[in-house]
Every structure is written in structure tokens, then in C-alpha cells.
Amino acid sequence: MQELTKFLSGVPLPDFVRVRQRFSREELSPEQIEEKLIREFQALRPVSPGQRICITCGSRGIANMPLVTRLLVEQVRAAGAEPFLVTAMGSHGGASAEGQLQMLRSLGISEESMGCPILSSMETVKLTEIEGLPVYMDRFAEEADGIIVLNRVKMHTSFRGDYESGLLKMLSVGLGKQRGADLVHAGGEDDMARRIRLIGGAALHAAPVVLGVALLENAFEKTFALELLPPDQIEAQEPALLKRAKERMAQIYFPDCDILVVHSIGKNYSGAGADPNIVGRCANPKLKSGVRCKRMAFFDLSDESHGNATGIGRADIVSRRLYEKMEFNETYYNFITCNTPDTFKIPVVLDSDRTVLQGCIQTCVGIDRDRPRILMMDNSLETEYLLISEAMLPEAEKLENVEIVSNAFPLVFDAEGTLLTPIKPVLAI
């Protein structure tokens, strides 16, 4: 690929300016989380002495997840019951029991750190049926005397409804393992909201659910709300929690650009690798959200994603280092479950970050190549700081929630063409 890299080396890159987007910083401290969880758990008294209580653990990098999980373990044990955790993450972790345990370990959740057993299996049992659809559940969870459903409530990446990512999704997809996840996705994006409500609701009533614990995060991936819900309130309260979460989520205030660069993608940032609510190009073409761009580029894959490059197909061009980190087995189990091949297709692969950026400029039609409008972000979770090319300065100056925090500067790359310029200012890292 050296000749192609040499050919593109003549494409000039513009200077960039660092900007800061303003979002609400309201959050709960660990002490506030602990105080609220203990107070409300003891008021609800969801478990009884002698019971075996299952606590769900998903695969997302959720703020304060180890803390909240450990606190629940301690409260269950203090009530005289026996707690254990189950891996509740659909087909993630390569759809294997050991892979799902590894996911939890990478999130700081282990038997040693939590102080209780973690049971992992892809085996499910059929709980019931609803409108001709089977309702599956993790075998260990079904055998428990009680289930505490723990998850973050947030906007989904490919559909809209009263129930998106949250407690009912944990019941239908997470605890449903690969079979449950496949069933929820089988009707396509347009039917996912209905199936989550239908299957999740049926599981809620058929399984021994004793408590729902919902976490809500702000634009900085910090917990701003924690809610403990008795089982008869989960369906009624989750839509309002979802609305609150949507109001606080990150976004990009710039509506469009010529080229959008997402430095890193990964399952720890979004179930879609890069959240289409932020970066655009949703797998469901009916959803128009995120930044509009002519070219999208990805530079890297996070280590925390364990080779899962879900969402790689949203990009037009990616770097060789991202491609070489991709593990096809880890990635394609998500494709088989989600039934969305477009977001798993391999884009054009070029040698380096610099060449990827030059390739985007060279192949953009109808733009001013001397003044391309380029927007760069670290990932779809961290959107406070962005780099924008000089051509976007006039737009930035007009946006109420955007602050220009630097003068213009050229990007710096190492000898291999890897970007060295940080998107966040050094003091903000």
C-alpha cells in the first residue's frame, strides 16, 4: 500500500481549532449513591432470609457499575439471603460463558471484588410464550428465588420507543442470552421496541423479579440518578426514566460537516461501536440523528472492546491498526444476532491516521478541498472537546453552547502517520 500512501501524501491538511461543548455536570458522588441505595433497599425489603438472589451483570462500561453491584451484594447478604451474579449480556463475549466472564473481569467485576459467586452459562429455559413468541431466560436466573435486574437506562442506537436500553431490555435480551437477543432482533429495528416491551414484560411477570435498579448517566458518562423500583413499578416507571436520560445525553451541536473523524470505536463506548445518535448513519435508515457528513473515518479500536469492531461499517475509511485489532469471531456474533450486515462490512483500509484523513479529503465530492469542514472527536461518549478545521470556525462562533478554547494549529503525527495531537487539552485528560 506504499504507493497509495505516497499518492495521497500530497493532499494538504488544514489547521484545526479545539472547541468545548457545554453540558450539565450534575452527578451523584459514590457516597450519595451508597446512601441512597442502602436507604431505599432497606425500605423496600425486596428479599427474605434464606433466599438465593440473582443480580444481573451486563457487558457495558456503565459508570459506578462495580460499586452498585457490590452494594447490592452486601445488602442482599445483610438481609440474610444468598447473593450471586449472572452474566446477562445476550450474545456478547463471543456468545460463550467464558467470554462473558472475561467481559465482566474487564469491567472490574469478579468473584473476588464482589464477594460472591458469578455464574455464567449460555443455557436458557423457556419461561412462557407471548403472542406466539417464546420467552427465554438464563437458567441460573430462573432457578433463583429472586432476581434483581440492574442496568443503565438510555437511548438505543437503532430504534425508538417507550422502552429502549434499560430494565426490560435486560430481561428480554441480557437474560435471554443469545437466543433471546436473536429473538428480539429477528423482526428488525422497526419491531424491536415492541418486542422488548412484549418479551421483557412477559419475563418480568413470569420470572421471580424482586427489584429493578436503574442507573442514568449524563453527557460525561457520570451517574446523575439511581432509582430502585419494586417489580410492579418497573414497566410504569421506565419510560419516564428514559426521557430523563435522553435529556442529559451527549450530542454534537454542529449539525453537519464534510468529514467526521471518530478516533476510537468500541463496545465500551456504545453497543454500536460509535453511537449513531451522536455520529449519525444509523443502521435503521428511518432514524435521522447525529451529525450529517459526506465521509466518516475511524482511526482505532479500544482495547476494552476485546476485538469487537461492531459498527465498523459506518465508516468509509479506517486505519490499518483498527482493522488489525478486529477479531472476526467477537464481531460477527453481534452481526448474526443483529441482522444488520451494513454496519459490519469492512470499509476501505489505509495505512495510517494521516492517510485516512487525506483519503477522506481526496474522495469528498463537492467540497472546498482547500478548506474542508472536518470535525474530530475521541469517541461517541466523550464529546465535550472536539477538534474542528478552521473552515468551521464561523459556525462555532454562532453556537451558544460551544466555546473556542485554542488558536489554530497543525495536526502532529508520528513517523508512521499515527495522530499524536490530543483532542482533549492535556490538562483535561
* pLDDT > 70? residue 193: yes
Partners of 387 in beta bridges? 18, 376
> How high is the pLDDT of residue 8?
92
Instruction: For cell 461492531, name the residue.
Output: 310
> How high is the pLDDT of residue 229?
98
Task: Give, in words, the CATH class of 30-248.
Answer: alpha beta
149-164 average pLDDT score: 89
Minimum mean pLDDT among 79-93, 120-134, 228-242, 335-349: which range? 335-349
* pLDDT > 60? residue 428: no
> How high is the pLDDT of residue 240?
97
Classified as helix, coil or strand, 135 is strand
Minimum mean pLDDT among 188-192, 312-316, 379-383: which range? 188-192
More confident residue, 189 or 361: 361
* pLDDT > 90? residue 256: yes
| Contact indicator for 158, 276 with CB cutoff of 8 Å | yes
C-alpha cell of 121? 452459562
Domain residue extents for the chain: 2-23+250-422, 30-248
CB within 8 A of 207, min separation 6: which ones?
127, 137, 141, 142, 147, 171, 175
C-alpha cell of 419? 495522530
CB within 8 A of 134, min separation 6: which ones?
126, 128, 183
Terminal-residue alpha carbon distance, the chain = 34
Minimum mean pLDDT among 141-150, 197-206, 278-287: which range? 278-287
90-97 average pLDDT score: 80
Give how far Cα 321 sits from Cα of 2, 6, 13, 374, Å: 15, 18, 21, 22
pLDDT band at residue 186, thresholds of 50, 70 and 90? confident
Q: How many CB atoms lie within 10 A of CB 238?
A: 24
Residues 260-288: b if buried by 16+ CB within 10 A, e if exposed: bbbbbbbbbbbbbbbbbbbbbbbbbeebe
Q: CB-side exposure of 382: number of CA atoms within 13 Å?
A: 19
C-alpha cell of 426? 492535556
pLDDT band at residue 195, thresholds of 50, 70 and 90? very high
DSSP H or E segment with residue 2: helix 2-8
Q: What are phi and psi of 296, to 5 degrees?
A: -125, 140
**What's the sign of the alpha-carbon dihedral 365, 370, 375, 378?**
positive
Kindly give the pairing relationship between strand 209-217 and strand 223-229: antiparallel
C-alpha cell of 120? 455464567
Please state the separation of Cα 81 from the chain's center in Å: 32
pLDDT band at residue 106, thresholds of 50, 70 and 90? confident
Torsion of CA 376, 378, 382, 388, to 10 degrees: -20
* pLDDT > 50? residue 118: yes
- pLDDT (tens digit per residue) in 286-300: 777 889 999 999 999
75-97 average pLDDT score: 91
Q: What are phi and psi of 205, to 5 degrees?
A: -85, -25
Q: How many CB atoms lie within 10 A of CB 416?
A: 11
Give how far Cα 276 sits from Cα of 77, 152, 288, 415, Å: 41, 18, 9, 32
392-402 average pLDDT score: 96
Q: How many CB atoms lie within 10 A of CB 30?
A: 12
C-alpha cell of 385? 472537546
DSSP H or E segment with residue 402: strand 402-404
Looking at the chain, the whole-number percentage of residues with pLDDT higher than 90 is 75
* pLDDT > 90? residue 48: yes
pLDDT band at residue 228, thresholds of 50, 70 and 90? very high
pLDDT band at residue 417, thresholds of 50, 70 and 90? very high
C-alpha cell of 222? 457520570
> How high is the pLDDT of residue 44?
97
Minimum mean pLDDT among 127-131, 180-184, 317-321, 375-379: which range? 180-184
Strand order in the sheet with 146-152: 118-119, 82-87, 52-57, 146-152, 209-217, 223-229
148-156 average pLDDT score: 94
* pLDDT > 60? residue 429: no
Q: CB-side exposure of 334: number of CA atoms within 13 Å?
A: 26
Looking at the chain, the whole-number percentage of residues with pLDDT higher than 70 is 99
Give how far Cα 214 sits from Cα of 54, 68, 157, 168, 242, Å: 16, 10, 19, 11, 10
| Contact indicator for 83, 55 with CB cutoff of 8 Å | yes
Average pLDDT value over all residues in the chain = 93
More confident residue, 93 or 297: 297
